[in-house]
Amino acid sequence: MDGAVQTVNCDDGTTMQVRRLSDVMGAEVTGVDLSKPLTPALKNAIMAAFLEHHLLAFRGQDLSPEAQHAFTKHFGDIEGHVARLPDGEKLPLVHVVNNLGPDGKPTAQPHSTGNYFWHTDKSYHDVPSLATLLHALELPPKGGDTLFCNTYRAYESLSDARKTQLANLRAVHSWEASRRNTGNQPASEQQKRERPPVSHPVVRTHPDTGRKLLYIGIHTSHIEGMPEADGKALLDELLEHAAQDAHVYRHEWHEGDLCMWDNRCLLHRADDNYDMGQHRRVLHRTVVRGTVPY
Ligand code: OGA
Ligand code: MN
């Protein structure tokens, strides 16, 4: 379902056009230049659209890393990272998501494949992320999409018995489990010290909308107070339920897109639906810190 264009007039005289991208979530935003200073009125209009649509795709953005940093900061603190670059260096606050090898050429064996599994960014933090912003600089001619899952709908479509069963459960999330679940190089001892396991409610209440949602994904290992295998089986089942087509939106990127999504009520994953060894895919990423889930 592609919606009609809605024109949003901000108090400062600017207007932005918002067009719904699918029934599940998402809106395309045009008429704004994110490299310009953000007025409070425009910020409020963006925040309202963000809460309504969960994912905003600002088209045609020409943003330096500094400009992306400045825009991101309006929404909260920018996160540091436990992941490391191939040379062991820490990631900068504005960092690059790409499929390039050490020689700078596209590779079908990327350094990390964690992004190809359903997750919500930094759920292994005690204070997980509010939003992630990805700015598409270079894209394959076709494919290289990102899939997004609406976890409000995932929760709402559960049976009443299941909702009751989940009401007070807490899932354990960790960097270590994430690396294990995704078949990546195991977490180092230092990374385990930096990011010890944390637990979050399986049914989370969105702090801005008050709506309930399923807060799960590939960073989880088990459920507190439940035999590990049973907890894992339940989490796997919930993830499969969440990620059914009826809850998923596929974002086909345009160069210049700046996508900003709500990590509190969406899961996401990259799709390797392109020839990764052949074509470059390069995006700039910033992550906004959120609040403790309840
Ligand atoms: C991320 C992420 C997916 C993609 O940047 O957090 O999961 O499609 N990216 O690159
Ligand atoms: Mn991610």
- 191 CB within 6 A, ligand 1: no
Q: What is the pLDDT of residue 80?
A: 83
Which amino acid is located at 225 in the chain?
G
The per-residue pLDDT for 126 is 97
The reply to whether ligand 1 has any atom less than 6 angstroms from the CB of 121 is: yes
Ligand 1 atom, smallest distance to 285 CA: 5
Question: Rounded mean pLDDT of 147-160?
Answer: 98
Region 73-102 average pLDDT: 87
Q: Which helix (H) or strand (E) holds 162?
A: helix 160-166
- Considering every ligand atom shown, identify the ligand nearest to the alpha carbon of residue 219 and give its number: 2
Query: Binning pLDDT at 50, 70 and 90, where does residue 3 land?
Result: confident
Secondary-structure percent of the chain, ordered helix, strand, coil, rounded to 5: 25, 30, 50
Indicate the pLDDT class of residue 10, thresholds 50, 70 and 90.
Answer: confident
Question: Which range, of 81-90, 185-194, 239-248, averages the lowest pLDDT?
Answer: 81-90
Tell me the pLDDT band of 14, cut-offs 50, 70 and 90. Answer: confident
Q: Atom 3 of ligand 1 has which residue's CA nearest to it? A: 270
Return the pLDDT at 13.
Answer: 83
Q: How many CB atoms lie within 10 A of CB 234?
A: 20
Which pLDDT tens digit goes with each residue over 27-75?
A: 999 999 999 999 999 999 999 999 999 999 999 999 999 999 999 999 9
Please tell me the pTM assigned to this model: 0.96
User: If pLDDT is split at 50, 70 and 90, which confidence band does 112 have?
Assistant: confident
Q: Where are the domains of the chain?
A: 5-289
CATH T-level topology, domain 5-289: Double-stranded beta-helix (3.60.130)
DSSP characters over 220-278: EEEETTS-HHHHHHHHHHHHHHHTSGGGEEEE---TT-EEEEETTTEEEEE---S-TTT
Provide DSSP, 69-108: HHHHHTTSPBP--S-B-TTSPBPPSSEEEE-B-TTSSB-S
| Position 206 confidence tier, pLDDT thresholds 50, 70, 90 | very high
pLDDT tier for residue 209 given thresholds of 50, 70 and 90: very high
Least confident of 78-87, 90-99, 140-149, 209-218: 78-87
AA letter at 286: T
Regarding the beta carbon of 263 and ligand 1, being less than 6 Å apart is answered no
Of 269, 271, 281, the one to substitute when testing ligand 1's pocket (max ligand atoms within 8 A of C-beta) is 269
**Shortest-distance atom of ligand 1 to CA 121:** 6
Q: How confident is the model at residue 218 (pLDDT cuts 50, 70, 90)?
A: very high
- Which band of pLDDT confidence, cut at 50, 70 and 90, is reported for residue 2? low
Q: Is the pLDDT of residue 294 over 90?
A: yes
Looking at the predicted structure, is the pLDDT value of residue 1 above 60?
no
The closest-lying atom of ligand 1 relative to the alpha carbon of residue 114 is 7
Average pLDDT score over the chain = 95
Residue nearest to atom 10 of ligand 1 (CA): 270
Residue 106: partners with Cβ closer than 8 Å, 6 or more residues away: 99, 100, 276, 277, 278, 279, 280, 281
Least distant ligand from the CA of 132: 1
Predicted confidence (pLDDT) per residue in 250-270, tens digit = 999 999 999 999 999 999 999
Q: Quickly state the pLDDT bin for 4 (edges 50, 70, 90).
A: confident
